[in-house]
Amino acid sequence: MWYLYVAEISFYAVIIGILFAIFKIKKIEKLKTVLIILPIFMVLTIGVTFTLQEPEIKVKEAISYEIGEKTSLDKVEATYHFVDVSEKVKTEENIDFNKIGKYEVKYTVPSILGDYTKVQTVEIFDTTSPVIILEGNEVEEISYKDEYKEAGYTVSDNSNEDLNDKVVITKEEVNDKEYKLIYTVEDSSKNIGTATRIIKLIDKEPPELKLNGSEKIDIELNSKYDEKGAKATDEIDGDLTDKIEITGKVDTAKVGKYTITYKVKDNSGNEAKKTRTITVYKKEEKVDTSNKNNNNTNTNSNKNQNNNSNNSTSKSSGTIYLTFDDGPTSSITPKILDILKSRGIKATFFIINYSSANEKLVKREVNEGHTVAIHGYSHNYKEIYKSVDTYMNNIKKLQDKIKKSTGYNATITRFPGGSSNTVSRFNPGIMTKLTKKVVEKGYKYFDWNVDSNDAGGARSSEAVYNNVIKGLKKNRANVVLMHDFSGNTKTVNALNDIIDYGLANGYKFSNITKSTPMVTHRVQN
């Protein structure tokens, strides 16, 4: 307001100055009066101006604030007649500083001419972008086979609007191993917030591994195992066949089950594994109808074997009948009985004449549940195969002795040398007659179809063991020929292992009884 006063004073000063100059030059007397009166007008004019002066409220007409930036208006300065009247300013407003909008503020100061009011416009605006906070990882690795499963997000914005439902997600390919998910949200003031999640596509899938050929292969003993290998392909890395590691070995010289393992890893370290089972088996024995052992006169080892058993139950169960010939002997028989007892296994003893000292062994065989069977009072081929009668008397004599010793009626027999023996050929046709005769007389005779060869070529317990397990076959009655003659420790030493093998391979052990179907050779004399 000061300029008004300056203007008024200047105006009067100029007028007075001009009048004064005229008066000095022309000496007009009237002007003297005017010069005296004019300052009075000047004072009056200034006084009126002063009185009519409006208060000054120092605010802008329009002002704007960011939402939430302020909680109240600043203090207003005001002057009236050059005096600070800030304290007297009354402010009228209804601004919500947290809500976008235009508000009017009225400032009022009292004056001589009544209340003086100044109006101000306050705008609350929003220029701050919403913020999207991602849950889960900002860089996520997933299998190239999977779709990314959204882990979620929350939006925060100064407008306090709920913007969670307004987020738009767009997918942007980076390359075939990576893409971006771009999250965008816009608030009501058109401020845009974004966030980015990077999805890396990695290989979590193992390669596909395929065996060439069957997963289970059965091959015959001593034949050749041909490794057919495998194929590996990976959706990412392609053909990985060259990277397949093959471990394991097949010993085709040994009956058993072998496992070959195939492993392959893709470039991302995902492993695939497969196995192949190879069973090396011994070929089923076939009945040899030709006669090749005419000159074999000393051992039981090279017989053509023929299992005539037709009992389906004993066949399917895979039974092992352990048989011990030519005992009892004080050195071997007790040891065999001890092992059988400890393993809970019953066997069959084809005995010959025994001394009174060994009678207790025959009793023990009966008492411990074994079958005591007749091999012959004598084992002398020349003597026993002289005639049908000499043979029949030979077995009857032992049968009676066993009955006297134990009360047990032995009816199971085994021909010395077996029914297929050729040692009786000095008496042609004798075996043909005897094999019929013994059955007629109510006996049953048993040969064998597994030869331990412990009376022949087997010189060690390992050889005895190997001969037995090689001869065993599933799904039949396996009659195993062994001996408890004096000094036969190799059979004693092999016995536990043979039992272990049999049990481990699902065989059942049994003694021969009257109801056991006969296992016989083909008669050759």
Site residues for Zn ion per CB under 5 A: 325-326, 416
User: Which of 127, 180, 187 minimizes the C-alpha distance to 156?
Assistant: 187
Cβ pair 315, 476 in contact under 8 A: yes
* Nearest to Zn ion of 55, 418 (CB atom): 418
* Nearest to Zn ion of 421, 516 (CB atom): 421
**Which residues, 6 or more positions from 160, have their beta carbon under 8 angstroms from its beta carbon?**
98
Cβ 256 to Zn ion, closest distance in Å?
32
Cβ 379 to Zn ion, closest distance in Å?
5
Q: What is the DSSP letter of 72?
A: S
Helix (H) or strand (E) holding 278: strand 271-281
Cβ pair 104, 96 in contact under 8 A: no
* Nearest to Zn ion of 240, 512 (CB atom): 512
**150: Cα separation from own chain's centroid:** 26
Rounded-to-integer distance, Cα 306 and Cα 327, Å: 25
* Nearest to Zn ion of 325, 454 (CB atom): 325
Rounded-to-integer distance, Cα 462 and Cα 490, Å: 8
Give Cα separations from 4 to 7, 48, 84 (angstroms). 5, 11, 19
As given in the structure block, the two tokens for residue 429 are 């046709």
Rounded-to-integer distance, Cα 213 and Cα 86, Å: 102
Cβ 416 to Zn ion, closest distance in Å?
5
Cβ 419 to Zn ion, closest distance in Å?
13
Cβ 415 to Zn ion, closest distance in Å?
9
* Nearest to Zn ion of 203, 325 (CB atom): 325
Cβ 325 to Zn ion, closest distance in Å?
4
Neighbours of 313 (CB within 10 A): 9
Cβ 468 to Zn ion, closest distance in Å?
17
* Nearest to Zn ion of 193, 416 (CB atom): 416
Give Cα separations from 279 to 245, 326, 445, 507 (angstroms). 21, 37, 35, 18
Cβ 375 to Zn ion, closest distance in Å?
5
- At 123 the three-state DSSP class reads strand
* Nearest to Zn ion of 247, 298 (CB atom): 298
* Nearest to Zn ion of 340, 384 (CB atom): 384
The torsion defined by the Cα of 420, 425, 427 and 431, in degrees rounded to 10, comes to 10
* Nearest to Zn ion of 126, 325 (CB atom): 325
User: Which of 117, 123, 128, 108 minimizes the C-alpha distance to 63?
Assistant: 123
Cβ 377 to Zn ion, closest distance in Å?
12
Taking each helix axis from N to C terminus, what angle separates 489-504 and 333-343, rounded to the nearest 10 degrees?
20
Closest residue to Zn ion: CB criterion: 325
Exposure string of 469-496, with b = 16+ CB inside 10 Å and e = fewer, is bebbbeebbbbbbbbbbeebebbbbbbe
Rounded-to-integer distance, Cα 174 and Cα 176, Å: 7
